[in-house]
């Protein structure tokens, strides 16, 4: 199959559905939690929807930064353009993506619950993880950007699950002393 001939939105859906839901499954394994098949399939659908949104946003912010360069507002430098695409993507769209993701995730639970404490932790990833990750992503040619973004989602899921399991371990150790 020649991936260049596939509709870019379909490809984004597939990449995010596979890597995003697989990342969540690995996170559950790390946390020693049970994987429920319906929840896994629902998660794949949520990630597919997010993949479409991300494809739109990546394309739109590419055009945004292109116009800044064209009008002489920003120098035509790969790193600067990539950083600005990442900055504006994460600053203007990132919070909305996090909220949309939380809402879609909570639908399966039968109630929409948006805790500021949990959202705050997710929003902070825009600074410590996504800004740098997307800067690297936007340095690649457009046909690889969505693939790397999906891989980054997997990586972040692993990092967060590792941090979460370490936090729980230290909490248990603190309560035992």
Q: Tell me if 3 is assigned to some domain.
A: no
- How many domains is the chain partitioned into structurally? 1
Domain encompassing residue 58: 8-162
For residue 34, give the H/E element and its range: none
CB 151 within 8 Å of CB 133: no
How far apart are alpha carbons 27 and 33 in whole angstroms?
9
Helices and strands in the chain: count of H runs, count of E runs: 7, 0
Distance CA 41, CA 175 (A): 37
Is residue 167 assigned to a domain? no
Looking at residue 67, what is its pLDDT? 97
If one counts every other C-beta atom within 10 angstroms of the C-beta of residue 172, the result is 9
Residues whose CB is less than 8 angstroms from the CB of residue 42 and which lie 6 or more positions away in sequence, other chains included: 108
Q: What is the pLDDT of residue 60?
A: 95
Residue 37 lies in a domain: yes
* Residue 173 tokens, joined: 């150790």
The pTM for the full model equals 0.86
Residue 157 CA to residue 160 CA, distance in Å, equals: 5
24: enclosing H helix or E strand: helix 8-30
Residue 177 lies in a domain: no
Instruction: Classify each residue of 82-91 as buried b or exposed e, where b means 16 or more C-beta atoms within 10 Å of its C-beta.
Output: bbbbbbbbbe
13 inside domain:
yes
Q: With respect to residue 168, please indicate whether it lies within any of the assigned structural domains.
A: no
What is the reported pLDDT for 89?
97
- Asked if 151 and 23 touch (Cβ cutoff 8 Å), the reply is no
8 Å CB contact between 9 and 54:
no
Per-residue pLDDT of the chain (177 residues; tens, 9 = 90+): 565 577 899 999 999 999 999 998 998 898 889 999 999 999 999 999 999 999 999 999 999 999 999 999 999 999 999 999 999 999 999 999 999 999 998 888 788 878 888 889 889 999 999 999 999 999 999 889 999 999 999 999 888 888 776 666 555 555 555
**Is 119 part of a structural domain of the chain?**
yes
Cβ atoms of residues 148 and 103 within 8 Å: no
How much is the pLDDT for 163? 79
The verdict on residue 1 lying in a domain is no
């Amino acid at each position: 199959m020649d991936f260049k001939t596939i509709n870019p939105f379909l490809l984004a859906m597939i990449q995010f559905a596979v890597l995003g839901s697989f990342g969540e499954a690995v996170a559950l394994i790390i946390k020693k939690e049970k994987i429920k098949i319906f929840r896994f399939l629902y998660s794949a659908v949520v990630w597919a929807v997010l993949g479409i949104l991300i494809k739109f946003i990546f394309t739109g912010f590419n055009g945004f930064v292109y116009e800044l360069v064209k009008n002489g507002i920003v120098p035509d430098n790969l790193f600067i353009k990539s950083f600005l695409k990442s900055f504006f993507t994460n600053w203007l769209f990132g919070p909305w993506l996090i909220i949309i993701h939380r809402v879609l995730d909570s639908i399966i639970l039968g109630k929409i619950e948006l805790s500021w404490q949990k959202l705050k932790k997710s929003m902070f990833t825009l600074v410590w993880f996504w800004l740098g990750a997307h800067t690297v992503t936007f340095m690649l040619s457009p046909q690889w950007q969505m693939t790397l973004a999906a891989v980054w989602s997997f990586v972040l899921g692993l990092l967060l699950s590792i941090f979460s399991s370490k936090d729980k371990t230290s909490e248990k150790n603190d309560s035992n002393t």
